Structures are given as C-alpha cells and as structure tokens.
Structure 1
Amino acid sequence: FITIPLGIIIGNKKIFTVCNVENEFLEKFSHQNLNLHFHSRFALNILLTIANHYNRNLRLLNKTRLRIERDLKNNVTNKQLYNLMEVEKSLVYFLAALKGNETIVKKLFRLPAIKRFEEDEDLLEDLVIENNQALETTRLYTDILESITTSYASLLSNEMNNTMKTLTLFTVFLTLPTLVFSFFGMNVPLPINEHSYVSWVIVIAISLIIVS
C-alpha cells in the first residue's frame, strides 16, 4: 500500500476535493444525495471513511504478515523477506499519514470558520476513535514487524556462523592429509620401501591418524 494526499476545500455553498488519482470512496460520495449546506458533516464523513479504510487495510496487512511468517517458519527465502519488507514499508506510509490526519482532526474543527452542528459531535467522536485505533494498530504492527525482522536477522546470522564453522572443519580435514602427502612427495623416502604399496598404506594411515 501507498498513501496519497487529499485536499478538502470548503467554500460558500460549495465543497471541492482535490486528489491526483481517482478514489473509490469519493466516487461513492458523488452518487449519494448529499446536503452540502452541512459542510462540516460532509468533511467529517470523508475523514471517517478514510479512517475506516485504514483500519480495513491494516487487517489485510496483518493477514499478509501472518501468512509470510508461517511460510518463513518452513523455509526462509529472499522472496518472503522481500514480501515482509513490503508490508513494513506499507506500515511506514500508514504511520506517517495517520499522524498527519490526527493533527488535522485535532486542529481543523477548532477553527471558528468551520461550523459544526449538534449532530456532528457524535460523528466527530467516531472519527477520533477510528483514527486513534488505526494509529495505535499501525504502531503495534510496526513494533511486531520490527521484532520479527530482528529475530530472523539473528537466526540467519547464527545459521551463517554454523555454516562457516562446518566449512572451516572441512578445510582443516582436507588440509592435513595434503600436508602429509606433500611432505612425502618432496623427495622424502617412503617408509619401509618406496616401491611397495605398503608404504602408501602407511602414509594414508598417518594422514587418517592426524585428521582423527
């Protein structure tokens, strides 16, 4: 998900919404019978719809995160890590946008130019609750995702260390026999008789003893 800015201009008997892309919920508003004399109520309905969209999409993001987490338990792949990064990036967009919306909700309707009626108070209260819920949920999911990312980073680091230890042991095991065979290959007489296969068996035995 990404977030985009939306402008609401309230004028005398007119309301303008400004956005650089088409919005599904604005299209729904355009097909409704709206009383534009209640400007603040119309703006509150738009902001409440936006807050509801955030909460709905947060649930979708959380389902995606849970699915990716289940897949990661079975097998860690780059694709799954990239998908987890996309979820984290979406939450960053949400967090920044919801903080801005929170500021707007607190300040905008304190202005004397914005008239509110008694019926608008419940709508404003619902808006504050929905926006705060979306903001707190985004923060919670962000913290969870950071914890998961840190845990898998530690897990991958431990797996890499174990792999390096294994490769180091194999390197040692392969190096020691090489040293033994190189020693006897530098014009050094073989044990017993250099023309006898028993001498080669002894050299191999010495290599195995050193490795063990």
Structure 2
Amino acid sequence: MIELKKSMIHNGQERSWYQVVAPSHDEIQQLSLQLDISRDDLNDAVDPDELSRFEWLDNGGMMAIVRVPVYDPNQKPAYFTAPLGIIVTDKAMLTLSNYAFSFIDHDIPRKAIISDRSNLLYILSIILRVSYEYSRTLQDLKRAMDDTVYEMRKNMGNDGLFSLLEISKSFVFIMTSLRANAALLEKIQRMRGFSMDVEETDLHNNVSIEMREAEQAVHIHIAILNSTMETFVGVINNNLNHVMRRLTSISLLLMWPSLMASIYGMNVPLPFEDVPHAFWWVALFTVVVEVIIFRFFKKRDLL
C-alpha cells in the first residue's frame, strides 16, 4: 500500500512524503520508476532479515534502515523487530515497512516540515521515535513478565515456563536490534565527508542516549528474567525432591506389613502357629511397629 501523506516545496521543487506498507512487486516497480530509486534499495527496506544500516544512494539521496519493535499476537514470540526503511531524495521522502507503525501516522507529519532544512534531521527524527517505541515495548514486556510470574506463583505449570521462554526470545531480538541501531548511529557520526550542524548533532546525541538507555534496560530485564527462570526451576526441582521423599517414606511404611503378610502367608512351619489367636498377636505386633516407623518418619519431616 502506497499512501501520499504530505507534499512540500524543497529547493524550488515539489517533494512528497509517502508511507509505504507491505508493498507488492508492482508497487516496488512503480516507486522505482517514479522516484528514480533502485529496486534493490526498496526491496532491502522491506526485507524481514535486513539489518540496520545507513548509506548514500546513487541519485544522491540517503537511505537508513532501522529495526523497529513489533507486536503481533499471531507470531511466536509476539514481540519481535522488523526493518523500517527511510529514504530521502530531492523528489520524495519515503518510509517503507511490512507493518503499519502508528508513531509514523501521529508524529512524522510534524517532523516532515523540518526536512525542508535537513534530510538527516528528518531521518534522525524518525529514529528518535523508534527509540521511544523500544521503551514502550520494554514496558509491555516487563508487564507481561510480571503477570506471568504472578500466575506461576499460584499455579506453577509448564505453560508459565514456556511463556517466560517466549519473553526471553523477545528480549534477545530487541537487544540484537538495539545493537544494530547503535552501530547505525555510529556510522552516521563517523561517515567521511559528512558533517552535522548543531541541531543535527543535538538530535543525534538524544537518539544515541535513548538507544543506550533502552539497551541497558534490556540487559537488566534479561538478568531479572534469567534469575526468575532459574528460581522457578529450582522450586520445581525442590518440589519434585519433596514428593519423591514422601513417596519413598510411604513405600517404606507399606513394606513392613507386606513383609509380615508374605512371611505368614507361606505354607511352611512358622513361629507361634500353634498359639491361640496367633493371627491377632501378629497383627498387633505389625501395627505397633508400623506406628513406630510412622512416628520416626514424621519426627524427621519425611511425611
């Protein structure tokens, strides 16, 4: 889908801003011919496996690809990242992705006015909004982790552990994407023959700070999640040991009457077989020994 969001005058000619979501092959071809942008560059911007990068285009424009957090409940894990392509030329400004990001609709039209003075300022403005999306996504993941932990305290089952595993995968995806985005910002700063003015430098620093803070938050959440999973695994193992200990104690309790029944069930001469009421005396002796064994196990918390 290609949507024209805004048109403006830049350096004496009209320049349009397009939001492109999940473009088809024909739409990619249309944009390439209309805006003089290589199809390979357009395809890279919507490639799900494309990493963050920044480069100059053959027509003199700029292209930045940044990884953006995405929530899709139909995917496993539900939180992951996808590339967002930002292309700026003399003819047009484009944002390309396979997903419709709400922050583009709400905030970028206001930022697009700034691009009359600086193409890089436009790109950095979008990346700044991306960094805010990471912070919001981390809050959602933390909330999901806390809810899962709370449910596991009430009912410790496999579903909770699998949910924590999916959250752990999401944290790994986000951490990897944040590192790639940080490398993108460093490349912009170190690129030869490219200088930033004061406003661009301030915005670049703000974006870098937001990305670093998000990366630090991810490291903290991963550490907490790993510690939580280890704790639950330890609790499960401890509960299993407790159950096995009880079952062993019960087996030992049942062993004594079974032994007595086995001995006096044999068709051979046995002690006290000629004694009147021998059965009741043997039964009483078995019960007394059973009570002694039971109190012994109970005193040592084995039952």
Alignment TM-score, normalising by the size of structure 2: 0.63
1:147 aligns with 2:227: yes
Q: State the alpha-carbon separation in 1 of the partners of residues 274 and 82 from structure 2.
A: 83
1:108 aligns with 2:188: yes
2:18 matched residue in structure 1: none
Query: Share of identical aligned residues, percent?
Result: 26
C-alpha contact (below 8 Å) 1:191/1:199 kept by paired residues: no
Aligned runs of 1:1-212 on 2, under 5 Å? Answer: 1-29=79-107, 31-32=109-110, 34-35=112-113, 36-37=115-116, 38-112=118-192, 116-189=196-269, 192-193=272-273, 198-211=277-290, 212=293
Q: State the alpha-carbon separation in 1 of the partners of residues 134 and 242 from structure 2.
A: 43
Amino acid at match of 1:56: R
Q: Deviations over 1:82-115 (max 9, x none)?
A: 3322322221111111111111111123324655
Q: CA deviation at 1:22?
A: 1.8
Amino acid at match of 2:112: L
Matched length: 211
Q: State the alpha-carbon separation in 1 of the partners of residues 111 and 261 from structure 2.
A: 93
Q: Deviations over 1:56-95 (max 9, x none)?
A: 1212222232333333334423333333223222211111
The 3-state SS of whatever aligns with 2:105 is helix
Larger fraction in helix: 1
C-alpha contact (below 8 Å) 1:6/1:18 kept by paired residues: yes
The 3-state SS of whatever aligns with 2:80 is coil
Q: CA deviation at 1:26?
A: 2.4
For structure 1, the 5+ residue unaligned runs are: none
Amino acid at match of 1:121: T
Q: State the alpha-carbon separation in 1 of the partners of residues 262 and 99 from structure 2.
A: 73
The 3-state SS of whatever aligns with 1:119 is helix
| CA pair 33-6 structure 1, distance change in 2 beyond 3 A | closer
Of 170-179 and 74-83, more deviation after overlay is shown by 74-83
C-alpha contact (below 8 Å) 2:111/2:125 kept by paired residues: no
Amino acid at match of 1:156: I
For structure 2, the 5+ residue unaligned runs are: 1-78, 294-303
Amino acid at match of 1:9: I
Q: State the alpha-carbon separation in 2 of the partners of residues 27 and 61 from structure 1.
A: 24
Q: Which has the higher contact order (CA 8 A, sep 6+)?
A: 1
Q: Deviations over 1:166-206 (max 9, x none)?
A: 1011112112211211111111346545796x222222233
Q: State the alpha-carbon separation in 1 of the partners of residues 203 and 248 from structure 2.
A: 67
Of 184-193 and 134-143, more deviation after overlay is shown by 184-193
Of 95-104 and 57-66, more deviation after overlay is shown by 57-66
